[in-house]
Structure 1
């Protein structure tokens, strides 16, 4: 898995703080921003998070480049609707000799790994055979969920919070959970105040929301 932060809104703390302050100020936007110098923007962002006033977070965005992840992951990722995605097309990009993700539980089991890798090899060969006689858009029907893909994904900060709450939970699927950790680490470097409270439900003031399905093993904070 490779994850990079391609772009983000410049001065994210100031943008969020200015958006929040604007709602209650008669001043023009330039004056509001001037008054948010030093630690004032950061302090206001932390106050907003504490109060649960999340709408100003929607004014800043973060764009991630994501590679070497499975189609099984991407199918889960795009369920987060308030985000924008561009994904490598299996219709137009020929996937001959495709790479794939090997789940840890299979990698650790000798017999399972042998069967898995044999099946992947058979599918690679069959896919190549089909490409010679049918269009790629039809040959792709035999490609597995393990097949790797590439995406560029853009979230606003509020949507990212929701993503982190759901996907950093230890009950989420291992691969997308690993992606969420990498994305949070990158986002916190550029916007530490904004993402200071980001994490699974169990890190929050109300605790785990999984009820009887709770793992009761909160992940370590970063």
Structure 2
């Protein structure tokens, strides 16, 4: 029996600047402004169309990703309909064969600490399943018959292809606090790959679990909170600075949380994951954030 962590890899060699230039050429068709294309105009153009929610333009680019995870996660992934999938088949893969190491491979659950009572119960269950799977193969069960006892934790490999707009939809759902922990773990891995390779398109999406994720995202979408606290002007200023296309959100976050504002830099909320924030912690951080963002230059 083998236990591994989930992993992801890009199937495409991505040139982020080339993608932006392609999207600019396509998007300018709508305005017949091809004459305005310059060597450095693509990034600004794509940012502007996204600010206007003109997302149909980014549908013209698709990316394929290879994912190694458990079958419980892929059951959720394949619910995304505007996509293409190719997946390792337990009907045809005989895991007693040499090419599979004559063993089953399972994905380590992220919610059990190794050595904990829960982890040991899970590990023992996986070992029992491997033993029984091999026994079924020995008594001439076919792989598609023996697979009936395989659990959600069994390792599988999936290649999925989606356009950039659908990838955004995927991340907004699957990187969220409400997502299943293992689904979110995989989605965060993919998002980090995309953010490292493709400028602009995914800059406004942050994986849940980062120290500032919950505060920043809630402050984007819940401006009524600021109004209730008498901070309407701060919320308006923040929104304008984030979406005017001239402020880099990464610079904004670094400034507010780690830079010149010592009140937040010293705040206890930065020393714990967002899932551990109390209501008082969140109220304090939100108030200071909305005020501090107005100081950003």
User: TM-score, normalized by length of structure 1?
Assistant: 0.83
Of 12, 30, 35, the residue aligned with 1:7 is 12
Q: List runs of 5+ in structure 1 lacking aligned partners.
A: 209-214
Match of residue 131 from structure 1:
137
Moved more, 196-205 or 126-135: 196-205
Q: Is the 8 A contact 1:8 1:60 kept in 2?
A: no
Q: Are residues 146 and 58 of structure 1, via their aligned partners in 2, closer, same or farther at CA, if it must alter by over 3 Å?
A: same
- The CA RMSD measured in Å over matched residues stands at 2.5
Q: Are residues 206 and 9 of structure 1, via their aligned partners in 2, closer, same or farther at CA, if it must alter by over 3 Å?
A: same
Normalized per residue, the structure richer in helix is: 2
Does 1:100 find its partner at 2:112? no
Match of residue 52 from structure 1:
53
Structure 1 position 77, deviation (Å) = 0.8
Aligned pairs (5 A) from 1:1-222? 1-7=6-12, 11-25=18-32, 32=34, 35-67=36-68, 69-96=69-96, 97-108=103-114, 110-132=116-138, 133-199=140-206, 202=217, 205-207=220-222
User: TM-score, normalized by length of structure 2?
Assistant: 0.63
Inter-partner Cα distance in structure 1 for 2:190 and 2:63 = 10
Q: Are residues 207 and 153 of structure 1, via their aligned partners in 2, closer, same or farther at CA, if it must alter by over 3 Å?
A: farther
Q: List runs of 5+ in structure 2 lacking aligned partners.
A: 1-5, 97-102, 208-213, 224-274, 283-297
Structure 1 position 166, deviation (Å) = 0.6
Q: Are residues 207 and 70 of structure 1, via their aligned partners in 2, closer, same or farther at CA, if it must alter by over 3 Å?
A: farther
The structure whose RCO (Cα within 8 Å, separation 6+) is larger is 1
Q: Is the 8 A contact 2:110 2:182 kept in 1?
A: no
Structure 1 position 52, deviation (Å) = 0.6
Match of residue 211 from structure 1:
none
Structure 1 position 95, deviation (Å) = 2.5
Over alpha carbons, which structure has the higher Rg? 2
Partner of 1:66: helix, strand, or coil? strand
**Deviation by residue 1:162-202 (Cα, 9 ceiling, x = unmatched):** 01111111221111212111211211222212222234793
